[in-house]
A and B are shown apart, each in its own frame.
Chain A
Amino acid sequence: MTPFLALLTRDLRLSVREGGGAVLALGFFALVATLVPLGVGPDLNLLAKMGGGILWVGAALAALLSLDRLFQADYEDGSLDLIALSPLSLEGAAFAKIAAHWLSTGLPLTLLSPILSVFFGLSGSAVIALTMSLAIGTPAVSAVGAIGASLTLSLRRGGLILPLIVLPLLVPAVMFGAGMVLEAQTGLTNGAVGFLAAFSLAASLLSPFVAAQGVRLNLAG
């Protein structure tokens, strides 16, 4: 097995086992999707209008929950030092970790979203657009999140700072993701899918390099 695959499967295994947080993210997502309709009232027309945006915000926040474990847990128990010494470059390791985070968080959130969209009375085409947009956009959430996770990995209270530095950078994902749902609902072409795909690809390709730099700076001191 190549070092890349070894790290990927290890991270995946850790995420689904006890204390991994993959299931917690799903629970958090489902709770957001339950609380918002209870808060704003059961008007399905209003909820359908907001649904795309709310579910996107919920998914992004849920994906952030498990980010502090991406590097921090490995830093605390020393395995990050071993990963840094392995034949796999830190950039490659960061990419493997981002991929594992997406497979254990972004993908399940995407698959759960059609079920939760029932709460918001989304039409069939809107549900398809939402699922598609999450499939395209959640890799960007994992990738941008990994930058924040790498910069805060040695902080004791990194979990509090992480959302503050990651969420402003996720504005395009939420905006264009919800934009795809809006396009399906209104029928007005807005090109959101192109922007979302571009952002997601660029973030996934560039963030391993930034995250590896962040890990290096934290391990050096």
Chain B
Amino acid sequence: MFDWLFRYANPARFMGLSGALLPWLWSAALLTLATALYLGFSAPPDYQQGRTVLILFIHVPAAIMATNVYACMVVASLFSLINRHILADVAARTAAPLGAIFTLLALITGSLWGKPMWGTWWVWDGRLTSTLVQFFLYLGYIALWNAIEDETRAARICAVLALVGAVNIPIIKFSVDWWATLHQGESIMSGNLAGPFLVPFLVMMLFYMLLFVCLWLTRIRTLILERRLRSLMGAA
């Protein structure tokens, strides 16, 4: 079923393909960033929030990436457990720090947005709490990886933890409906974001995704090269 995918799971072939793609991806990322910044700053001030609405463009994509990166980790962990492929191990491992940073960024920018809008840096609202838990799940995963010396064993064990931690993803997603406290509900898919804000948001979202793919691929490549170097040093 995944035969076409496994052809690229060969590390040598992966290195070739990702090496050819990365310059293009980086250029596309920088281009979308420039476009998103231009569109964002030329968006009109919100009638209630004024200029602070600009935080939307960095906060919402970061929060979406916080869960999406974890979903990538879960998929990689599944491949790691079922197919026992080294590239899946490395992919799951390298996604974690990126996800942790996106989560932290979502928490910090949300806090900066909460102060002028809600009058407080932090509330124990369902969405905020579950996102904070998500951050700790990333930290626990990274800590467990670093604590196990044997890399193959670390990959399998951490994959189990990643799958268990996946229960938090639906909680984050539905937290705004279950505990209708302070954080606002879903407004992108339901079309409640007005056009002048929607377009810069979508471009910024595209930038976040491209940035993640670029950093992820670069990090996977680094780890594969590191591993190769180690086996060369060991052979010499």
Residues of A within 8 A of B (CB): 147, 151-152, 154-155, 157-158, 161, 164-165, 167-169, 171, 210, 213-214, 217-218, 220-221
Whether A210 lies near B164 (C-beta < 8 A) is: yes
Q: Give chain B residues whose Cβ lies under 8 Å from the Cβ of A220.
A: 153
Whether B147 lies near A165 (C-beta < 8 A) is: no
B134 to A: closest C-beta gap in Å: 8
Smallest CB gap from B139: residue in A: A164
B18 to A: closest C-beta gap in Å: 29
Instruction: Judge whether B114 is part of the interface by a CB distance below 8 angstroms.
Output: no
Instruction: Judge whether B137 is part of the interface by a CB distance below 8 angstroms.
Output: yes
Whether A164 lies near B136 (C-beta < 8 A) is: yes
The distance in angstroms between the C-alpha atoms of A165 and B157, with both chains bound, is 12
How many residue-residue contacts, CB under 8 A, span A and B? 56
Whether B160 lies near A210 (C-beta < 8 A) is: yes
Whether A168 touches B157, Cβ cut-off 8 Å, given contacts A161-B143, A161-B144, A221-B150, is: no
Whether B160 lies near A165 (C-beta < 8 A) is: no
The distance in angstroms between the C-alpha atoms of A220 and B143, with both chains bound, is 21
Whether A155 lies near B148 (C-beta < 8 A) is: yes
Whether B153 lies near A221 (C-beta < 8 A) is: yes
Whether A151 touches B160, Cβ cut-off 8 Å, given contacts A164-B136, A168-B137, A221-B153, is: yes
B87 to A: closest C-beta gap in Å: 19
Smallest CB gap from B148: residue in A: A155
Instruction: Judge whether B161 is part of the interface by a CB distance below 8 angstroms.
Output: yes
Q: Can you identify 21 A-B contacts, CB atoms within 8 angstroms?
A: A154-B148, A155-B147, A155-B148, A158-B147, A164-B136, A164-B139, A164-B143, A165-B143, A165-B144, A168-B133, A168-B136, A168-B140, A169-B137, A169-B165, A169-B167, A171-B129, A210-B164, A213-B160, A217-B156, A221-B150, A221-B152
